């Protein structure tokens, strides 16, 4: 019923795209769960060394990128516009992870600025995605909220570059958990449109 109602107010081809995204709702769920797991690990080990934090964040960023790309690629039908931002988000996350893995010796300040820039870029892409998804889904506000959270997190990191390592780990952990919860909520909202 919700699917039929949503399809009547969608642009041409939008129903096919929504149906495809709903069929692959679990990819968004995995993206959210990966973020929550990263956040929990940050809380469990707040005394992480910088090198461990870099690798842990890199692992999260690569998982996030793979799940975002998987969602963009698996979505069929409709215009490419509503999902190009997912692909771009995935590529940005994977590139950021590769930089973290191949240049782990960067200083804490450089790492902080790198993570802040990543969060701002991802936030802007998510807000753009929410603007596009509002045509397809009433619950696009979850994606917009996630984007605003990413922007705020990036701005906070830029504004407080001298925060201690433990404070940085806690801040990243909270961001990851809230960010992940928003993705999980969006995944379950999309699941409502899944055709059995």
Structural domain includes residue 12: yes
Per the structure block, which two tokens stand in for 138? 């009433």
Structural domain includes residue 90: yes
pLDDT at 2: 43
pLDDT at 36: 92
Domain that holds residue 171: 2-191
Structural domain includes residue 147: yes
Q: How confident is the model at residue 166 (pLDDT cuts 50, 70, 90)?
A: low
Task: Pick from 54-58, 162-166, 184-188 the range whose average pLDDT is largest.
Answer: 184-188
Number of domains, the chain: 1
Q: What is the pLDDT of residues 71-92, one digit of tens each?
A: 788 766 555 555 777 788 889 8
What is the 3 state secondary structure string of the chain?
CHHHHHHHCCCCCHHHHHHHHHHCHHHHHHHHHHHHHHHHHHHHCCCCCHHHHHHHHHHHHHHHHHHHHHHHHHCCCCCCHHHHHHHHHHHHHHHHHHHHHHCCCCCHHHHHHHHHHHHHHHHHHHHHHHHHHCCCCHHHHHHHHHHHHHHHHHHHHHHCCCCCHHHHHHHHHHHHHHHHHHHHHHHHHHHCCCCC
Structural domain includes residue 110: yes
Q: What is the pLDDT of residues 51-67, one digit of tens each?
A: 777 787 888 888 888 88
Structural domain includes residue 196: no
């Amino acid at each position: 019923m919700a699917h039929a109602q949503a399809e009547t107010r969608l642009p041409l081809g939008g129903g096919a795209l929504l149906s495809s995204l709903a069929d692959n709702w679990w990819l968004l769920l995995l993206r959210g769960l990966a973020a929550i797991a990263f956040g929990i690990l940050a809380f469990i080990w707040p005394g992480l060394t910088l090198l461990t934090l870099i690798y842990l964040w890199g692992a999260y960023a690569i998982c996030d990128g793979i799940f975002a790309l998987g969602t963009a690629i698996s979505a069929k039908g409709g215009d490419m516009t509503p999902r190009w931002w997912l692909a771009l988000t995935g590529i940005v996350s994977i590139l950021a992870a590769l930089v973290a893995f191949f240049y782990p010796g960067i200083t804490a300040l450089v790492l902080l600025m790198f993570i802040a820039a990543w969060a701002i870029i991802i936030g802007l892409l998510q807000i753009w995605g929410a603007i596009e998804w509002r045509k397809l889904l009433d619950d696009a506000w979850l994606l917009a909220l996630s984007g605003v959270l990413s922007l705020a997190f990036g701005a906070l990191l830029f504004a407080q570059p001298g925060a201690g390592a433990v404070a940085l780990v806690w801040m990243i952990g909270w961001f990851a958990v809230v960010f992940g919860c928003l993705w999980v909520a969006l995944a379950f909202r999309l699941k409502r449109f899944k055709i059995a």
